[in-house]
A and B are shown apart, each in its own frame.
Chain A
Amino acid sequence: MGKLIRISGPVVEAEAMSGSAMYDVVKVGKEGLMGEIIKIVGDRAIIQVYEDTAGLQPGEPVDGTGLPLSVELGPGLLTSIYDGIQRPLEAIAEKTGSLFLPRGVSVPPLDRAKKWDFKAVMKGGDKVKRGDVLGTVQETDLILHKVLAPRDGIVKSVKSGKFTIDDTVAVIESAGKSHPLTMVVRQPVRKARQCAEKLDPTIPLITGQRVVDMFFPIAKGGTCAIPGPFGSGKTVTQHQFAKWSDTQIVVYIGCGERGNEMTDVLTEFPHLVDPKSGKPLMQRTILIANTSNMPVAAREASIYTGITIAEYYRDMGYDVALMADSTSRWAEAMREIGGRLEEMPGEEGYPAYLARRLAEFYERAGRVRTLGSDERYGSITIIGAVSPPGGDINEPVSQNTLRVTKVYLALEASLAQRRHFPAFNWLRSYSLYTDTLDKWYTQNISADWTKLRAESMALLQKEAELQEIVQLVGPDALPEKEQLVLATTRSLREDFLQQSAFHEIDTYSSMRKQYLMLRNILAVHARATAALDMGLQLKRVLAMPIREKVGRMKEVSEANLVQLEHMQGDIDKAFDEVARQ
């Protein structure tokens, strides 16, 4: 048992700590505040404390637990809301009856009393390999929780029935010893969970957001960075991804962000219905809420807590999407603690290990073949928001993130200011997955998907060039054909790229709808170009009523997609008619 000798903010120092190891969890002071050892000098340990340290005095005790920072994994995680070190916020509210988060409360992350209906999949005498499914629990209506064997051996016994997570459900014999198993495991958070093999991402994550799915696709198991100044729509984008991504599990980490936004998620998700199953989206969601005013050390831990939970579900064979909002706050937590340790700072005061930590985190994404003999595949897709100071991405967090992520969605303040949402700059954003995913699109959506994308991008690129000329001489000085390009790209921007997250229909577009919309816009362009070649005036083309119909395609619901299918015929008819006149 050690003694406190110095307290300054969230970092404290204790002596007589010999025997404790780096990253061990300790209980600090009389109230037993949770902390983690982050530096050892002789018999002194420097500890980051996950709770407010006001009132702590030198001389108070520090107890080592001998364990690294861990999370509890088992049935009951889904629909929960945790703080950065997996304390259940709902249970804390019930236990303390307080609006606030008091210090030193200890509530187990998973419900101890609840009985789960465990169904054994294996039977006594079976040979078992680490990662095999021993049995299942219907955790929510949407998700079947798989209880995995933690080691190789022989199943001595396994029983179905109603159990709490602490009850023994199976016994495995390995190397002559019997190991009783419950449904819960403890997992250190700073180390990645093992998998059998990492695979290349070849399946797109469908988000229902047109600009992303069509132009800058994210792969399941991929990584994506969304840097943007405040007010450019990072959080709304993250919420949209959490709502509409076609993954089975969503882990949402509110890392150092606003309390009211977490509440919005908490109150909105239970009412949102999964378009495929018709069940509330909350049933597949786990929230980690460490708002900006909660202790900074717990903010540092929240990212690890989230990714470890994500890995746990990945290992059951699920596709998991992890949203981290925002990784800049996480980096700032590292900087703040590094500063208190008086470490030699790297760029802009961030610790020198910032790049390594970011890379390690994003590397925990991926599509994998899991452990176990039944060939399960799971994935974790990481979507990280970055909040660069002043919106300028020439800063360490953005730059180090972009070095390891494969999709870059560049949010821009000027687009957001004109209410062009999602405010992704279509010329600066990129996705490195397009090549690997094109095969999937060609097979599953349409053969001309990639052609449409290339054609649209070429037009948008052309628009940027033309705009420079327009700035000098005005639009009327351009040849009519180039003016038509401007009209088409305006339609691309306003009728396709812009998508309202708050419009009941527009908020989600299926791949089919996206394809049809883009096809029709380009069909208008092709017919209009031909009409100009035949000597028609641009004014006549722009006045055609079919253009407004095309402009309202986004309001067509998924049930009426046939309207969009037929629109190509309408376009042809309209142009034929004009040509006849």
Chain B
Amino acid sequence: MKEYKTITQIAGPLVFVSDVSGVGYNEMVEVLLPTGEKRMGQVLESAKGLAVIQIFGPTDGINTTGTRVRFLGETMRLGVSTDMLGRSFDGLGRPRDGKPPVTAEKRIDINGAALNPFMRDTPSDFIQTGISTIDGLNTLVRGQKLPIFTASGLPHSQLAVQIARQARTVSKQKEPFAVVFAAVGITHEESSFFMREFQNSGALERAVLFLNLADDPSVERIITPRLALTTAEYLAYEKDMHVLVIITDMTNYCEALREIAAAREEVPGRRGYPGYMYTDLSNIYERAGRVKGKKGTVTQLGILTMPGDDITHPIPDLTGYITEGQIVLGRDLHRKNIYPPVDVLPCLSRLMNLGIGKERTREDHRGIADQLYAAYATGRDLRSLAAVVGQEALSETDRQYLSFADSFEQRFIKQGHNDDRTIEQTLDLGWELLTVLPESELKRVKKEHIEKYGRKFRHKKEEKKETETPAAPAQ
């Protein structure tokens, strides 16, 4: 092990060590302060006689005279084991719950090699989350990476917890599952909300937690998601578990990335974020999937706050280009007191088609989802028109679309924190809401599906109308 006392420069989270030799790129480093304190770091650049080190933690107390730097000769590794379930760790993987460190069955490089695309298997297992806007319109499948795009002040944590609690597959077999939770720069309050919810739902003993809180060193945030994913990959591909990884909040991760890039005086890209942010983020998000010959899967649910509610901000923008869709929360719906405030129009699940249809959910799923989307979009457009010209100037059909949009928000989008709807309930609800519109408007659904699934609600409605009519004159 090589040890040096030749620090020549300290800038932000970076430490420059000169007169070194044989230092590997990305190698781990221990920095020993004169006080005896130990900090971890990683080699960012290795040149002849010079190494640039990024310190995970504050650089206060590090000096150029008494501080020693020890190169460990290997890239960062995490000792993993199934004993990690039910435990909580800090952002660098050290126990946080006061219990002793776990005995590692295996030590794995946290940067993870890229999955061979040939070894990937198509994700196709439908995950029922019990939330209509997700199951019905933006279906999640095992092995998908589907982030929640949110904004400050919206109930994204509640939604994430509800998904974690209710998520299950429709298959009858009981399959081992685990939740890996990575807190990246969130507040203590938010973190304890998650802990409490996991505890209440009994998920805690099946969970591994990595917590980097708002007052923990920001550079650690580069590491925390990688620890979570390394653990998840181990549990999935070696222990056959279905792992749901929740990472919150990826925006803090990107901020940390920018902080380091700025300290290195790199040429900045858009809004000061480094030009390699796309590649860097993809190294995190792409670590989800299903692989050939293994039972386990890694499903990722990242949460990211859109700065200024702006979906074109570089963070959500680059993320959207990597992930397989997004669930977008909207402030307008939240103001209308609709939970979960899922703004369905910009939402998308790219893998939806792989998980739905006959034998997976129901044969009418694709059609009804498209129909609900199209009708709601029309209704929303008409709202702004109605605001200008008044409802009276609209045609009969247009008014029906308006009322559809309202009931869609109030009944389909809105549901309780504990409302766990089955996929049949969700799809039937869709058909029921569509009875407001004349059948000739339903061009996205197959005729035979209207007969099979939609008719019964139309009949019911007509019956209801008949019974209601006599009452009308009395008003």
Question: Using a CB–CB distance below 8 Å, which chain A residues touch chain B?
Answer: 5-9, 13, 52-59, 81, 83, 89-90, 92-93, 98-103, 229-231, 235, 254, 256, 258-264, 266-268, 289, 291-296, 329, 332, 335-336, 339, 342, 345, 348-349, 387, 389-392, 413, 416-420, 470-477, 494-495, 500, 502, 548, 551-552, 555
Contacts and interface: CB of A to CB of B under 8 A. Distances in A.
Given A99-B291, A329-B278, A294 B75 contact: no
B46 A263 contact: no
A90 B112 CA distance: 20
Interface stretch (B84-92, B282-290, B412-420): B282-290
A329 B378 CA distance: 34
Contact of B116 (A7, A92, A261, A332): A92
B374 A419 contact: yes
Given A58-B21, A263-B121, 16 more contacts: A5-B47, A8-B46, A54-B75, A59-B21, A89-B117, A100-B114, A102-B113, A258-B286, A289-B118, A294-B114, A348-B269, A348-B270, A349-B270, A417-B373, A417-B377, A495-B443
A259 B279 contact: no
Q: Which size bracket describes the interface of B in this complex? A: 35 or more
B25 A389 contact: no
Nearest to B267: A339
Contact of A419 (B320, B350, B373): B373
Contacts of B237: 99
Contacts of B469: none
Interface of B: 21-27, 44-49, 74-75, 109, 111-123, 143-144, 237, 266-270, 275-276, 278-279, 282-283, 286-289, 291-292, 294, 311-312, 314, 317-318, 320-322, 324-326, 345-346, 348, 350-351, 353-354, 366, 370, 373-374, 377-378, 385, 388-390, 393-395, 398, 440, 443-444, 446-447
A101 B113 contact: yes
B289 A472 contact: no
13 contacts: A5-B47, A8-B46, A53-B25, A55-B24, A100-B115, A101-B114, A291-B282, A293-B115, A294-B114, A389-B312, A389-B317, A389-B318, A552-B447
B120 A262 contact: yes
B118 A57 contact: no
A296 B114 CA distance: 12
Contact of B25 (A56, A92, A231): A56
A292 B282 contact: yes
Contact of A293 (B21, B114, B275, B395): B114
Given A263-B117, A263-B122, A389-B317, A55 B44 contact: no
Identify whether the interface residues of B are mostly helix, strand, loop, or mixed.
mixed
A332 B75 contact: no
Contact of A57 (B46, B346, B440): B46
A292 B74 CA distance: 25
A256 B281 CA distance: 12
A293 B443 contact: no
A83 B114 CA distance: 12
A81 B118 CA distance: 8
Contacts of A291: 114, 117, 282, 286
A419 B117 contact: no
Contacts of A335: 269, 275
Contacts of B322: 258, 292
Contacts of A92: 116, 118
Contacts of A100: 112-116, 119
Contact of A342 (B49, B267, B276, B287): B267
Nearest to A15: B48
A42 to B, nearest CB: 15
Nearest to B47: A6
Contact of A260 (B144, B269, B282): B144
A272 B24 CA distance: 48
B312 A392 contact: yes
Given A93-B119, A390-B317, A261 B350 contact: yes
Contacts of B394: 474-476
B366 A259 contact: no
Contacts of B120: 259-260, 262-263, 266
B389 A418 contact: no
A475 B117 contact: no
B311 to A, nearest CB: 8
B325 A231 contact: yes
Nearest to A299: B279
Contacts of B109: 54
A409 to B, nearest CB: 18
Contacts of A235: 350
A9 B283 CA distance: 14
A500 B366 CA distance: 10
A264 B25 CA distance: 35
Contacts of B289: 259-260, 263
Among all A-B residue pairs, the 4 with the closest Cβ atoms: A390-B312, A474-B393, A292-B282, A418-B377
B25 A259 contact: no
Nearest to B371: A419
A59 B267 CA distance: 28
A259 B120 CA distance: 8
A57 B75 CA distance: 12
Residue from the set A267, A292, A339 with the largest chain B CB neighbour count within 10 Å: A292
B270 to A, nearest CB: 6
Contacts of A101: 113-116
A335 B447 CA distance: 51
Given A389-B314, A418-B345, A89 B25 contact: no
B270 A389 contact: yes
B234 to A, nearest CB: 12
B289 to A, nearest CB: 6
Contact of B348 (A231, A260, A552): A231
B317 A259 contact: no
Given A55-B25, A56-B25, A101-B116, A476 B393 contact: yes
B275 A6 contact: no
